[in-house]
Structure 1
Amino acid sequence: MIIGLTGPMGCGKGEVVKILEKMGFEYITLSMMVREEARERGIEEEREKLMEVGNSMRAQEGAGVLGKRALKKIQDSGHDKWVVDGIRNPAEIGSLKEGEDVHVVGVNANRELLIERILSRGRESDATEREAIVHKLDREWGVGEPEDGQQVEKCMQKVDLVIDNEGTLEELQQKFTDFYNKLKKD
């Protein structure tokens, strides 16, 4: 089983990953593919630059390149339960769905809550100014991006389930556990 995750930064995808890891899932993020490529190109691993590298990879090798690379790693691994984080383009969903038993979940929250979370989490790669965060959220959502670039809004339209993560961590865990248990029954 492969569970793919999409959603804007600050929405709680990382928390969903932790939930799935406790259930025995292995973890891979599409940004790992981008970071590997950035290192090969000698490019600094800063969020804006990584976004550019990812967009460049999609432009050169097709919009689904990151999903294809992740699926290959998964298929070569021998593990049967994977969570794939960082889906940012609908073609990546299409590439992943070429595998078996693939389900994609969108995680979201209102814009103000996203900004608050990003400001409070203190990641080195995150912007610290509200205006810069808004710009990055817009760009990630697809504003001003090419079709083969960041398109989280379009990804959210192709998911199997959208989880609204505006509540507690316990509520998020319950929503996701319910979804997973339903998948196991089907």
Structure 2
Amino acid sequence: MNAGEVTLIGLTGKLGAGKDTVADYLVKKKNFKKYGCSDILKEKLKEEGKEASIENLIELGNSLREKKGPGVLAEMLLEKISQNGDMAAVIVGLRHPAEVKTLKESGAKILSIESPQELRFERIQKRGEERDKISLEEFKKQEEIQLQGRGNSANIIQCIELADQEIDNGNGWEHLYEQVERAC
């Protein structure tokens, strides 16, 4: 993929930080096409007849990274974007540093979406997705697993450190969208 032809934005951040909110804004206001690392995993789980629980998504993501390399999800999404001929794409849910590096090598700008833990937990409860029907304890446990994984596991802390820019999503829509406009 020639970076000069396509505008790529990658989004990383903790569970419930607002990555999809930022992506949806880019779709609506700037005509981006939205892709998600978890979409690839959900498709594969569906093919296997398995539930798209957070545990299954993590397990499959780790397995694919082990078999095909740590940047495999980003590589698969870049291929899909190229096949679809999209001129502007936002990729949501970067969880492994190799995914961030793969996208950066393709010319992507990486944004880290940040917000306080209590607010993030409230948000996932409101999403209404089956995978989000968890207790605060389970939320904290899943977050800890994703934040500092090793090897082929998710390591969101490293992804955040590799981001080009931080977007604060703890102070309302207007503040969020102003930052996104400046960043993109």
TM-score normalised according to structure 2 size: 0.90
User: Do 2:12 and 2:160's aligned partners in 1 also have CA atoms closer than 8 Å?
Assistant: yes
| Corresponding residue for residue 147 of structure 1 | 151
Identity %: 33
Number of aligned pairs? Answer: 177
3-state DSSP class of the match of 1:95?
Answer: helix
Equivalent position to 1:55, from 39, 58, 62: 62
Q: Which amino acid aligns with 1:82?
A: A
Q: Which residue of 2 aligns with 1:80?
A: 87
Q: Does 1:179 align with 2:183?
A: yes
Q: Distance in 1 between matches of 2:57 and 2:65?
A: 12
Counterpart CA distance in 1 for 2:123 and 2:13 is 14
In structure 2, which of residues 9, 31, 39 is the aligned counterpart of residue 32 of structure 1? 39
SS at match of 2:154: coil
Residue 111 (structure 2) aligned to one of 105, 113, 118:
105
Amino acid at match of 2:98: A
Q: Which residue of 1 aligns with 2:129?
A: 123
1:183 equivalent in structure 2: none
5+ unaligned residues in a row in structure 2: which ranges? 1-6
- Tell me which moved more, 120-129 or 60-69: 120-129
Q: CA deviation at 1:117?
A: 2.1
RMSD: 1.4
Give me the whole-angstrom Cα distance separating, in 1, the residues matched to 2:16 and 2:59. 20
Which one is further off, 155-164 or 127-136?
127-136
> Displacement of 1:96 after TM fit?
1.7
> What code does the residue aligned with 1:160 have?
D
d(CA) in 1 for partners of 2:25, 2:125: 23
- Provide the C-alpha distance between the structure 2 equivalents of 1:42 and 1:121, rounded to a whole number of angstroms: 23
Structure 1: which amino acid aligns with 2:83? D
| Cα distance in 2, alignment partners of residues 111 and 32 from structure 1 | 24
Map 1:6-21; keep pairs closer than 5 Å: 6-21=12-27
